Amino acid sequence: MIRVGFIPAVSRSWLGGIHYYQGLLSAIAALPDRRIEPVLVSSAAEPIERALDCAGFEVVHTRLLDRHRLPPLLQQVLHHARRLDGRLEALLLRLGIRVVSHTNRGWDWHRVRSMGWIYDFQHLHLPQIFPDEHRRIRDLEFRSIARGCDRVILSSEAARTDFEAFQPDAAHKARVLRFVPDVDVAGAGTPRAELERRYGFSGRYFLLPNQFWVHKNHAVVIDALAELRASGEEALVLATGHGDDPRAPGHFQSLVERARRLGVSDAFRTLGVIPHADVLSLMRHADAMINPSLFEGWNTAVEEAKALARPVVLSSIAPHLEQAPESALYFDPHDARELAGRMRTVLARGAASTAMDPGAAAAAHARARADYARRFENLVLDVAGAG
């Protein structure tokens, strides 16, 4: 059994990251006859348990990682000093860890192998929404991963293409690992009537389960609702997620004001952060899940909708096209009129059915998750030289 260390760079506000790690770890734990054992290595000052459910996994806290709480540019200075890397490597070796996965930087190690994870290259495609310092930090972090890690995990072929352009001399390190979420496909979820009571809505609706970040592009949905209302048609969108974008502190309020100005505040309902189980239940009963994002690495909600066999309306960006949900409807993320047309198409179908064969769906999803975990295991074995 090869012990593989995880040093997750994840916070409670990054819900997509939390779901990503929980999905990967639970898939590994369920893998029959597995040859790897995850060990979570965490800062003692900011224990990983505050963000992830670590039940069933070994967790090791160390002060050697406390420096990650410092400003990112100072972290880089300390990294180049390389004084702590050897001490951390010695700790990992004492723990029997031969490979570290999903690190967010390259390390000056000699006996422990490493696999970095780059979630996406949004800052290169949408530089206008990032402060200069944020772009510099991402460049430093991603180049550190590319140069210092033995493999670089990417979540889509689109991200691989970006990586090859970003760091051509490290292109041979790239490996695509498309993630599969942890979803109880066979479960019934919360009844619709209870969801309506809990969140104060009624009737048919679309679900938009994205953080209220600039690149998530909620504005086009608000504009599409205004287009529909102007033509005498009605639709309801329930939007969940954090309202704080550190790059644009006033963004959420600007969306609220936009909906008010266009007269669709009642049609664009923001629910904030709600239990993930409720998000999945809302997805089960929605006419469709909408993702209007301008950029993604590989979207978790799209994969959840695929697992639940739910209809989706997606922006026509490369990762969404690559995810290729069955019967998806696509639209130009800058064209509210086209999105309104796609929403009309969904509404014309009648209320979405939730009928599906739970047994067959659960079996298919279990196979997908086992394949996902096995592909990750093979990456670890390859890097460890044990494949």
Query: Per-residue DSSP letters for 40-58?
Result: EEEESSS-GGGTS--TTSE
Average pLDDT over residues 149-170: 97
State residue 199's pLDDT score. Answer: 97
Residue 245 pLDDT > 70? yes
Residue 373 pLDDT > 70? yes
Q: Which residues pair with 313 in a beta bridge?
A: 290, 329
Residue 19 pLDDT > 50? yes
State residue 268's pLDDT score. Answer: 98
- Spatial contact of 163 and 154, defined as CB atoms under 8 Å apart: yes
State residue 386's pLDDT score. Answer: 59
Q: For residue range 178-208, what is the model confidence (pLDDT) as tens digits?
A: 999 999 988 878 999 999 999 999 999 999 9
Q: For residue range 264-313, what is the model confidence (pLDDT) as tens digits?
A: 999 999 999 999 999 999 999 999 999 999 999 999 999 999 999 999 99
> How many whole angstroms separate alpha carbon 264 and alpha carbon 222?
7
Residue 25 pLDDT > 50? yes
Residue 255 pLDDT > 50? yes
Task: Tell me, yes or no, whether 146 and 210 share the same domain.
Answer: no
Task: Tell me, yes or no, whether 83 and 155 share the same domain.
Answer: yes
Lowest mean pLDDT among 164-178, 196-210, 298-312, 342-356: 342-356
Task: Tell me, yes or no, whether 262 and 324 share the same domain.
Answer: yes
Q: For residue range 59-111, what is the model confidence (pLDDT) as tens digits?
A: 999 988 875 544 444 455 455 445 568 889 999 999 999 999 999 888 888 89
**CATH code at position 221:** 3.40.50.2000
Task: Tell me, yes or no, whether 58 and 135 share the same domain.
Answer: yes
End-to-end Cα, the chain, rounded Å: 12
Task: Tell me, yes or no, whether 162 and 231 share the same domain.
Answer: no
In the chain, the amino acid numbered 32 is P
Average pLDDT over residues 343-361: 76
Per-residue pLDDT band for 114 (boundaries 50, 70, 90) equals: very high
Share of the chain above pLDDT 70, in %: 92
Strands (DSSP E) contained in the chain are 2-6, 36-43, 58-62, 97-103, 113-117, 151-154, 174-176, 206-208, 237-240, 268-272, 288-291, 312-315, 329-331
Residue 387 pLDDT > 60? no
Task: Tell me, yes or no, whether 372 and 238 share the same domain.
Answer: no
Residue 222 falls within a domain, yes or no? yes
- Spatial contact of 134 and 100, defined as CB atoms under 8 Å apart: no
Q: How many domains would you assign to the chain?
A: 2
What SS3 state is found at 248? coil
State residue 342's pLDDT score. Answer: 98
State residue 81's pLDDT score. Answer: 46
Query: Between 246 and 375, where is the model more confident?
Result: 375
CA dihedral of 236, 237, 238, 241, whole degrees rounded to 10: -160
Residue 316 falls within a domain, yes or no? yes
Instruction: Look up the domain containing 17 and give its range.
Output: 2-177+366-384
Residue 186 falls within a domain, yes or no? no
Q: Which of 9-18, 38-47, 171-180 shows the highest mean pLDDT?
A: 171-180
Task: Tell me, yes or no, whether 153 and 210 share the same domain.
Answer: no
Token reading at 45: 């000052």
Residue 359 falls within a domain, yes or no? no
State residue 82's pLDDT score. Answer: 53
Residue 354 falls within a domain, yes or no? no
Residue 225 falls within a domain, yes or no? yes
Query: Between 313 and 358, where is the model more confident?
Result: 313
Share of the chain above pLDDT 90, in %: 73
Residue 382 pLDDT > 90? yes
Half-sphere exposure of 102 (CA within 13 A, CB side): 23
Task: Tell me, yes or no, whether 173 and 232 share the same domain.
Answer: no
Task: Tell me, yes or no, whether 203 and 342 share the same domain.
Answer: yes
> How many whole angstroms separate alpha carbon 363 and alpha carbon 188?
16
Task: Tell me, yes or no, whether 278 and 206 share the same domain.
Answer: yes
- In sequence order, which residues have a C-beta less than 8 Å from that of residue 188 and are 6 or more positions away? none
Q: For residue range 35-52, what is the model confidence (pLDDT) as tens digits?
A: 999 999 988 888 888 888
Query: Between 321 and 84, where is the model more confident?
Result: 321
Average pLDDT over residues 253-259: 97
Residue 84 falls within a domain, yes or no? yes
Task: Tell me, yes or no, whether 206 and 130 share the same domain.
Answer: no
Residue 353 falls within a domain, yes or no? no
Average pLDDT over residues 362-379: 94
Distances (CA, A) of 234 to 57, 267, 352: 48, 8, 16
Task: Tell me, yes or no, whether 155 and 202 share the same domain.
Answer: no
